[in-house]
Amino acid sequence: MKVGIVGIGITEFKIHDEPFYNVAYRAAKKAMEDAEIERREIDSFILGGYDNLGVGRTISNMYVAPAAGGYLRHEIRVAEDAAFALPLAYMRVKSGLSDVAIVLGFGHSSETPVELVELQSLDPLFHRDLKLSLQMGYAMQSFVYRNTFNVSEEDTAKVVVKDRKNAAKNEYAFQKEKISEEEVISSDMAVYPLRKPEIAEWCDGCVAFILAEETTAKRINPEPIWIEGLGWTYDNYFMGTRDLSKLFATAKAAEMAYKMAKAKPSAIEAAEIMDLTSDYHFMILEALGFAEYGKAKELIDSDLPVNKSGGALCTNAYGSTGAFLLANLAFQLREGEIDKGIAQAMTGFAQNAAVAILAR
């Protein structure tokens, strides 16, 4: 039995004036309209997105469950990026416990300083007093990556140029301003070696997917997007124990997803990846098996469409970035541009990853 995506709802990604639950409601409503089904036809509501501190409310699903349409229905919430909620929804449908499920990812960053919130994820004994920001963690990995594999700032600047160019054509993207290689290289240093345009900015936005088991899926939508492979895992919390030049979690999650999909990287026609920095763009592609370690910079001019959406560098909503990328991959499948694609998400200091392989 296969599990298919039969409806997609996506809101604008920007700094929203409305509270996150009202934006979430819009995404859920759009997904139901897209699938042409009613709230009551959905039996399971799987919520994704951040906990409590990110929105200043201790149990965020108290607000998001009703917004998703979960009144008197099955509800559960998976923490971290909403891309981590997709596997649970898949397994619930796959087990036969659910016929039609919704995954709602809420992304919200504009109510509070995300860096200060994320700082509280560091243990109070060894790390928190170091006042490490996410960007500092990213930069330490960039520094190691560039040094290990001789990657230049011209190479990484190209990623920003490419993502921005794609985002300009994506109606849902947040940062759409085009930029040249020279502009990237001459822009302000944010956290060495990362310059400002090389680090994703925060925004708000929500995404909803409606999933159904194979037979039901075909009734709802003659051309569902099939979930063929899923993988998710964590690397070590202590950065000192990790090989910072590689993304172990992404590689491991991809290995699981490829195995489930019985596919190899060569079968993948497009990728949507959570490049929170320009360096991560290369590191993710390497971990996904598209290039040898240190060689992804050579892919920049290849035929493989990577981040047609503009990627995380242009759209990064705290909690729904991975879901945004998944939706953009699904759009490419719907349009018939590709037959099989891969989406990747990660959070924190790239400690974890969720990977999905979708197909027509």
Partner 1 sequence: MRRVAVVGVGQTKFRTRRDDKTHPELTYEAMNKALEHAGLDIKDIQAIAYGTMDPFDGIYLPERWDVTSGGIGKPFMKISTGGTTGMTTGLAAYEHVASGVFDIVMAVCTQRVGECVDAQPVLNTAVCPIYERYSGAGAISVAAIQATVHMHKYGTTEEDLAWVSVKDHKNALKNPNAHIKLDIGVEEVLNSPMVSSPLKLLECCPRSDGAVAVIFASEEVAKKIRDNPAWVIAETTISDDYYTGDRPDLSYWDTLAIAGRRLYRFAGVDDPKKDIDVAELYSPFTIQEVLELEALGFAKKGEGKDMAREGVTFVDGDMPTNPSGGVLCTNPIGATGLVRLAEASLQIMGEASNQIDNVEVSLAHAWGGTLQFHTLMLLSSKKKLKG
Partner 2 sequence: MVLKFETKWEIPYVHSAGEHGTKFFEALKDKKIMGVKCPECGRVLVPPRAFCERCFVDTTDWVEVSDEGEVVTVTVTYIKFTGLPDPPYATGIVKLDGADTGMLCLLGGIDLSDWKKVHETFKPGAKVKAVWKEEREGKITDILYFEPVEK
| Contact residues for partner 2, defined by CB under 8 A | 16-19, 22, 25, 29, 32, 38-39, 53, 56, 66-67, 69, 71, 110-113, 116-117, 120, 124-125, 128
- How many angstroms separate the CA atoms of 237 and 137, rounded? 12
80 binds, among partner 2, partner 1, none (CB under 5 to 8 A by kind): partner 1
Residue 238 interacts with partner 1 (CB under 8 A): yes or no: yes
**Residues 101-130 vs partner 1: string with x where CB under 8 A?**
----------------xx-xx-xxx-----
Q: Which is nearer to partner 1, 31 or 354 (CB)?
A: 354
Residues numbered 285 to 304 that lie near partner 1 (CB under 8 A) are: none
22 binds, among partner 1, partner 2, none (CB under 5 to 8 A by kind): partner 2
Selected from 59, 130, 262, 302, the binder of partner 1 by CB under 8 A is: 59
The DSSP secondary structure of 150-196, one letter per residue, reads T--HHHHHHHHHHHHHHHTT-TT-S------HHHHHTSPEEETTEEG
Give Dmax (Cα) for the chain. 56
Among 15, 97, 130, 189, binds partner 1 (CB under 8 A): 97
**Binding of partner 1 by 16 (CB under 8 A):** no
Q: Taking contact as CB under 8 A, which single stretch among the options 145-153, 165-173, 229-237, 334-342 is the one that binds partner 1?
A: 229-237
* Residues numbered 26-55 forming contacts with partner 1, rule: CB under 8 A: 45, 51-53
C-beta separation of 108 from 319 below 8 A: yes
The terminus-to-terminus CA distance of the chain in angstroms comes to: 15
The angle that helices 278-287 and 248-261 make with each other, rounded to 10 degrees, is 40
Instruction: Give the list of residues 6+ apart from residue 131 with CB closer than 8 angstroms, or none.
Output: 119
Q: Does 319 bind partner 1 (CB under 8 A)?
A: no
323-333 per-residue burial string, b: 16 or more CB within 10 A, e: under 16: bbbbbbbbbbb
Look at residue 45 and give the partner it binds from partner 2, partner 1, none, a contact being a CB closer than 5 to 8 Å depending on partner kind: partner 1
Q: For residue 219, give both structure tokens.
A: 């009734």
**Partner whose footprint covers residue 280, from partner 2, partner 1, none (CB < 5 to 8 Å by kind):** none
Per rule CB under 8 A, is residue 96 in the interface with partner 1? yes
Cα–Cα dist 73/42, whole Å: 8
The DSSP H or E segment spanning 332 is helix 321-334
SS3 335: coil
Q: Which residue has the tokens 């006042």?
A: 131
Give the residue with the Cβ less far from partner 2, 71 or 192: 71
Residue 180 binds which of partner 1, partner 2, none (CB < 5-8 A, kind-dependent): none
* Residue 84 interacting with partner 1 (CB under 8 A): yes
Residue 51 interface partner, choices partner 1, partner 2, none, CB cut-off 5-8 Å depending on type:
partner 1
Strand 340-345 relative to strand 270-272, pairing: parallel
SS3 of residue 5 by DSSP: strand
Give residues in contact with partner 1 (CB under 8 A).
45, 51-53, 56-59, 61-63, 65-66, 70-80, 84, 87-88, 90-92, 94-97, 117-118, 120-121, 123-125, 231-238, 248, 252, 256, 260, 348, 351-352
